[in-house]
Structure 1
Amino acid sequence: MPIREILQLGHPVLRQIAQPVPDPTAPAVADLVTDLADTVGHWRDTTGYGRAIAAPQIGELQRVILLRLPGQPVWPLINPSIIDYSPEKLVVWDACLSFLSIFMQVERYEWITVRYQDLLGQWHETRAGREDDLAELLQHEIDHLDGTLSIDRMVDVKSLCSREEFERQHRADSPYAQK
């Protein structure tokens, strides 16, 4: 499948709400997952960034996200939703393939439980926490499905910085560090 263009900050589709996938077993959904995997893999290979992607980022308003974590198989989540979350929150660095030139600090739940379907239509639940920064990553991608961007969750405009400055000061201690 082709590497798809990633929509950039300001594109109106990024602010729209994605629709539920009625049949996760449909061939079109498998094709979408392949496009997402190829696209995020390309970005990871060429920029060093890209652990996950949401379907709206490639112009598909469907509730599909894909995680491509280093050393792990690709993990598609169809119709994901957060069904539980910690009372505790934490502040983390966030970036996005839809505006990779800027980084900011955002507030996220320390842990979440996500309910989702796989490509066979089976329902699953997973609890994600700080390990591999999975909780913050899933929250970021699920936000995309609701038309919410990390800049909407910025805790302080003074945390906003360029990619170059983030790399100089913060990358080594972040989930974006090369692994």
Structure 2
Amino acid sequence: MPIRDILQLGHPVLRQVAQPVADPTAPEVASLVMDLADTVAHWRATTGYGRAIAAPQIGVLQRVILLRLPGRPVWPLVNPSIIDHSPETMVVWDACLSFLSIFMQVVRYPWIRVRYQDVQGTWHETHAGLEDDLAELLQHEIDHLDGILALDRLTDINTLCSREEFERQFKADSPYGR
């Protein structure tokens, strides 16, 4: 499957709400999942960043995200939604393949529960917490499905920094340093 271009900050599709997938078993969903997997793998190999991607980032307004975590199988989630979350919040570093030159601190929940379908159409629920920074990652990707970008969750404009400055000062103590 092809490596797709990732839409960049300012592209209007990134601010649109993705539509639910009617049939997760449809061939076009399988093709989309392959494109997402190939695209995020390419970005990880060429930039060192990229653990996940959402369909709107490649211009497809469908509720599909794909996680590609080190040492784990590729994990597509169709029609994911956050159904519960911790009462407390935390501040974490965030970045995005749609604006990889910008890093910032954002507010996220330490744990969430997500309901989603697999590509066979079966519904699942998963609890995501701090392990592998899974809660933060899923929140970031599900936000993409709702037209929300990490910049919208910025805690303080003073945390905004370039990729170079982030790598110099903060990367070692962040999930991106692993």
Pairwise TM-score range, normalised by the shorter structure: over 0.9
Look up the equivalent residue of 2:39 and give its one-letter code.
Answer: T
Residue number in structure 1 paired with 2:143: 143
Question: Which residue of structure 1 lines up, in the alignment, with residue 74 of structure 2?
Answer: 74
Q: Structure 1: how far apart are the matches of 2:152 and 2:57?
A: 16
Matches within 5 A, 1:21-170: 21-170=21-170
AA partner of residue 113 (structure 1): R
Where 1:10 maps in the other structure, the secondary structure is coil
Show the counterpart of 2:9.
Answer: 9
Q: Percent identity?
A: 81
Residue 15 of structure 1 deviates from its aligned partner by 0.2
Q: Distance in 2 between matches of 1:64 and 1:7?
A: 16
SS class of match (2:6): coil
CA-to-aligned-CA distance 1:2-57 (integer Å, 9 cap, x gap) = 00000000000000000000000001000000000000000000000000000000
Structure 1: 5+ residue runs without aligned partners? Answer: none
Instruction: Report the secondary structure of 2:164's partner residue.
Output: helix
TM-score (norm 2): 0.99
Amino acid in structure 2 at the alignment position of 1:130: L
Residue 176 of structure 2 aligns to a residue whose secondary structure is coil
Query: 1:173 — aligned with what?
Result: 173
Count of residue pairs brought into register by the alignment:
178
Structure 2 unaligned blocks of 5 or more = none
Cα displacement string for residues 41-88 of structure 1 (whole angstroms, at most 9, x for unaligned residues): 000000000000000000000000000001111000000000000001
Structure 2 Cα separation of the partners of residues 66 and 30 of structure 1: 12
Secondary structure in structure 2 of the residue aligned to 1:31 = helix
Task: Write the letter of the residue equivalent to 1:175.
Answer: P
Give the RMSD, CA atoms, in angstroms: 0.5
